[in-house]
Structure 1
Amino acid sequence: MLGQASVPLVGIVDTVVIGRTGDIAALGGVALGAMIINLVFWTFGFLRMGLTGLTAQAHGANDSPEVEAMLLRGLAIGGALGLALLLLQGPLTTMALAVMSGGAQVDAQADAYVTARFFGAPAALAVFAITGWLLGLGRTRAALALQVVMNGANAVLDIVFVWGLGMGAGGVGAGTAGAEWIAVFTGIAICTRVAGGGPVALLRRSERAALFARSALSRMFAVNRDLMIRTIALLLTFTWLVNAGARLGATTLAANHVLLQFISVAAFVLDAFAFTAEARIGQAIGSRSRARFVRAVRLTGEFALLGGAMLALTFWLGGTAVIAFMVTDIATAATARQFLPYAAVVPLLGAPSWMLDGVFIGATQGKALRNAAVVTTVLYIALDLLLRPMGNTGLWIAFLASYLLRAATLGPYLPALLRDITGNETLAKRATPA
């Protein structure tokens, strides 16, 4: 939970550093730019999610060579995809800003932010792989250390570039990109220590034939393909939300961005339980244990619901003070306070959907995740269009409904998953010599 709570600090620090300058266009630019970057970068979030489930299953099966191969594959794929994004940053930025227009001043700030962030793309995607691998092994303290390093570097660099050098939204992007490069080198050092030996030793003992085995790569890409579609579908939900806010003006866009920081904190904190479920469920499937699977679902689910209720109450009672600290613009702060109740209830409504994500990611059930996400996104957009006459109120009602839709569309797949595990457990017992 500590590690996950530190993840959204990157976005919170970015918002506070630029929000306290009083520049509403710069804050709107960071909001728009951050959504573009999230849409592009998290399209490849399968590097985190897919690697967690696959690594956990290899670990549960005591397949150490495959565990190490997973890390090397993830780093290679993440670095290569990140480099491709860096090379394509020009057309990607132009296309995104053409679709998500927030006005000339906001767009200029967003362009500066996005351009700077793309220089961190190879590192950001490699960090996804590193985090997924560590979580798959249950190395939560190592994942926490990595996040602390990245968040600390981001805070320092943001302050230097924005408050010290006056670089505005571009300085926020540069600070975050620099922190991502610091994090990737730190993560590689952590992973090689966990694996035993330095990077060279790890490469030497990893057989090339096993590293690029066709069966392993085919399975990895099959899981990742479905997770990629699922991630894109869910990212479209947030992209639609931000773009809808932008159409309502710079003040609404900035206020919604502030409220999204609350949701980011809730999502990442409660994802701690989901990540625990991913690792435990992956290990349960690797060892073909129904009892371990049921225990992981029950305990993490109970704690997630309790945590969601506590977070909702905390946001409701303390959100006004946090908004006053984050933003100095009076109109933006007032709008954020008006819609705070909608953001406050997200942790409670979203807990079941986040937990089910963890269960199915750990089980590497990409098809179920893909299908549920696509249906959810289509229904959410339809509901948002229907409620558009209600302005920002309709926007938030549709967004809250999306969390209920995610749980409702994914939950029906759970009984079949449990039956599969029960069948595999029976087969494993029959194959075990008496």
Structure 2
Amino acid sequence: MLAIASEPIFVLADTAMIGRLGVEPLAARAIASSLIGGIYWLFAFLIFGTTTLVGYHRGAGEPEICGEICLHALFLAAVGGIVVSILGILFAPHLYVLMGAGPDVSTLGSTYFRIRIAGSPFTFLLFATVGFLRGIQDTRTPMVIAFVVNGLNLVLDYLLIYGGLGLPAMGLRGAGIATLASQILAGTICLAVLFFSSHTSQYRLNRWRFNARRFLSLSRIGRDLAIRTGALRFSLVFATGTVARMGTASLSGHEIALQLFLLSSDTIDGIAVAGQTLAAKHLGADRPDKAYQMGKILILCGCVAGLIFGSGYILLKQPLIVLFTRSPEVAEVLGIAVFVLLALFQPVNGVVFASDGFLIGAHDTRYLMWAMLIGALGFFVPISWISLKWDLGLPGVWTGLSLLMAWRLATNSLRFFRKRWVLAFPGRN
């Protein structure tokens, strides 16, 4: 959980530093974060799919297959990362126009976006490596990598945004360079761990050949997760584009609220990771009853964690707003309604994220895909659009997000407690 929690904490610090530059840089970053987050999460199957497949075969006592899955994931990461980098650099200005950004925000953001998207191959290598390490139940190494890389990013952020130690103050562009440097370091460390660490030696293959079966198994789970995640990220990007048309202050306020939402969700994802890894392991060892008992405990932990975050957001509302912005317009847009919605749904989020992880570990990704498509496209996107047309403002958009989370709570709970996930993994009957 510490590894996952470090990411949003450092992102929050990054957001606070950029917020001090003014409303336009924060708005430019908001659009870039929404777009890049959406693109990257399409490749999140490199984490979750690899974890599920490696965990299952490790539970079945098949280390050689674990190694094959890892190498195929690295291949997909490298190819996908190069393609994303090229396309992102070419189409950055067009994406900002599509998102409804004004000329000043678009000019600032396009440069920042290009710098950040250039690091995609290294980020995707990190995804595949973390997925493999989680699958073999090594959570310590990803934690160390996360703290080293995010710590470097934070230090470089300060030096390159404001200037220091002889480095020029580059503002938003400096924040992008800091992130790119951290991405390169992350990819390099991951390759060193996989190919030179004694810890992973038993999974290394003397010779690697392309195996269609391994590729297809990763592609199938990747397809379901990519569509599921794509629907979620599309709805979030659509919401951000809608908020951008409400004005720069609304967009900046949305970015702050969204980063707080991601802080809690990414932290609770530590519980989801445990659920995913252990569900895959117990099903691989043909112990579904043990997986179910473990899942109930982790879902309860997710709910408690959500209660803690929700209470914190209510109690610390004003200090959090002051931390991120000095603009009275942004503070007014955030208001009471958005923070109340953000806080009240934290326990719901905790149950959803924990059960998500368990069901992914059980390979029940097709069900999750359809549930997300209905919730994101049936609830969140229409309500975001209505919020703009009917002048409901930021509270309207966040009401849509809250309804999406309520839908996910209902569908995940139904699936988990009815135990339909037991037969989801290919080959089980």
Shorter-chain TM-score above 0.5: yes
**Aligned-pair CA distance for 1:100:** 0.3
The residue identity in structure 1 corresponding to 2:402 is: L
Moved more, 186-195 or 150-159: 186-195
Residue by residue, what CA displacement relative to the aligned partner does 1:383-406 show, whole Å, maximum 9, x if unpaired? Answer: 333444222221111111111112
In 2, the alpha carbon distance for the partners of 1:193 and 1:60 equals 24
**Aligned-pair CA distance for 1:419:** 5.0
Two-structure CA RMSD over aligned residues (Å): 2.2
Q: CA 1:320 to 1:236, structure 2 compared with 1: closer, same or farther past 3 Å?
A: same
SS at match of 1:85: helix
Specify the alignment match of 1:430 in structure 2. none
**Aligned-pair CA distance for 1:371:** 0.7
Q: Residues 104-143 of structure 1: matches in 2 within 5 Å?
A: 104-143=103-142
Residue by residue, what CA displacement relative to the aligned partner does 1:139-163 show, whole Å, maximum 9, x if unpaired? Answer: 1221111110111111111112211
In 1, the alpha carbon distance for the partners of 2:397 and 2:424 equals 40
Pick from 158, 172, 175 the counterpart of residue 175 of structure 2: 172
Pick from 412, 415, 419 the counterpart of residue 413 of structure 1: 415
SS at match of 2:316: helix
Specify the alignment match of 1:20 in structure 2. 20
**Aligned-pair CA distance for 1:192:** 4.1
Residue by residue, what CA displacement relative to the aligned partner does 1:365-415 show, whole Å, maximum 9, x if unpaired? Answer: 221121111111112222333444222221111111111112223444332
Q: CA 1:194 to 1:292, structure 2 compared with 1: closer, same or farther past 3 Å?
A: farther
Does the 8 A contact of 2:118 with 2:180 survive in 1? Answer: yes
Q: CA 1:423 to 1:368, structure 2 compared with 1: closer, same or farther past 3 Å?
A: closer
SS at match of 1:208: coil
Does the 8 A contact of 1:9 with 1:151 survive in 2? Answer: no
Specify the alignment match of 2:398 in structure 1. 396
Pick from 298, 315, 318 the counterpart of residue 317 of structure 1: 315
**Aligned-pair CA distance for 1:309:** 0.5
**Aligned-pair CA distance for 1:11:** 2.1
Q: Residues 339-354 of structure 1: matches in 2 within 5 Å?
A: 339-354=338-353
Residue by residue, what CA displacement relative to the aligned partner does 1:182-240 show, whole Å, maximum 9, x if unpaired? Answer: 11222233344666477xx976x34324xx22222111111111111111001012112
Does the 8 A contact of 1:85 with 1:118 survive in 2? Answer: yes
Q: Are 1:183 and 2:181 counterparts?
A: no
**Aligned-pair CA distance for 1:78:** 0.7
Does the 8 A contact of 1:290 with 1:418 survive in 2? Answer: no
Does the 8 A contact of 2:84 with 2:120 survive in 1? Answer: yes
Q: CA 1:422 to 1:263, structure 2 compared with 1: closer, same or farther past 3 Å?
A: closer
Pick from 313, 316, 328 the counterpart of residue 330 of structure 1: 328
Residue by residue, what CA displacement relative to the aligned partner does 1:78-110 show, whole Å, maximum 9, x if unpaired? Answer: 111111112222343234223202211111121
Q: CA 1:196 to 1:3, structure 2 compared with 1: closer, same or farther past 3 Å?
A: closer
Specify the alignment match of 1:7 in structure 2. 7
SS at match of 2:137: coil
TM-score with structure 1 length normalisation? 0.91
In 1, the alpha carbon distance for the partners of 2:293 and 2:39 equals 36
Q: Residues 214-363 of structure 1: matches in 2 within 5 Å?
A: 214-338=212-336, 339-363=338-362
Does the 8 A contact of 1:82 with 1:123 survive in 2? Answer: yes
Moved more, 387-396 or 51-60: 387-396
- Structure 1 gap segments, 5+ residues each: 428-434
Does the 8 A contact of 2:63 with 2:203 survive in 1? Answer: no
In 2, the alpha carbon distance for the partners of 1:128 and 1:288 equals 28
Moved more, 330-339 or 166-175: 330-339
Q: CA 1:315 to 1:193, structure 2 compared with 1: closer, same or farther past 3 Å?
A: farther
Q: CA 1:196 to 1:167, structure 2 compared with 1: closer, same or farther past 3 Å?
A: same
Specify the alignment match of 1:385 in structure 2. 385
In 1, the alpha carbon distance for the partners of 2:385 and 2:138 equals 43
SS at match of 1:248: coil
SS at match of 1:166: coil
Specify the alignment match of 1:77 in structure 2. 76
**Aligned-pair CA distance for 1:349:** 2.3
Does the 8 A contact of 1:195 with 1:202 survive in 2? Answer: no
The residue identity in structure 2 corresponding to 1:17 is: M
Q: Residues 364-379 of structure 1: matches in 2 within 5 Å?
A: 364-379=363-378
Specify the alignment match of 1:87 in structure 2. 86
TM-score with structure 2 length normalisation? 0.92
Percent identity between the two aligned chains: 22
In 1, the alpha carbon distance for the partners of 2:145 and 2:126 equals 9
SS at match of 1:314: helix
The residue identity in structure 1 corresponding to 2:323 is: F
**Aligned-pair CA distance for 1:418:** 4.7
**Aligned-pair CA distance for 1:358:** 0.5
- Structure 2 gap segments, 5+ residues each: none
In 1, the alpha carbon distance for the partners of 2:76 and 2:232 equals 22
Specify the alignment match of 1:156 in structure 2. 155
In 2, the alpha carbon distance for the partners of 1:82 and 1:10 equals 23
SS at match of 1:384: helix
Moved more, 3-12 or 228-237: 3-12
The residue identity in structure 2 corresponding to 1:400 is: S
Moved more, 131-140 or 46-55: 131-140
In 2, the alpha carbon distance for the partners of 1:224 and 1:423 equals 14
Does the 8 A contact of 1:320 with 1:337 survive in 2? Answer: no
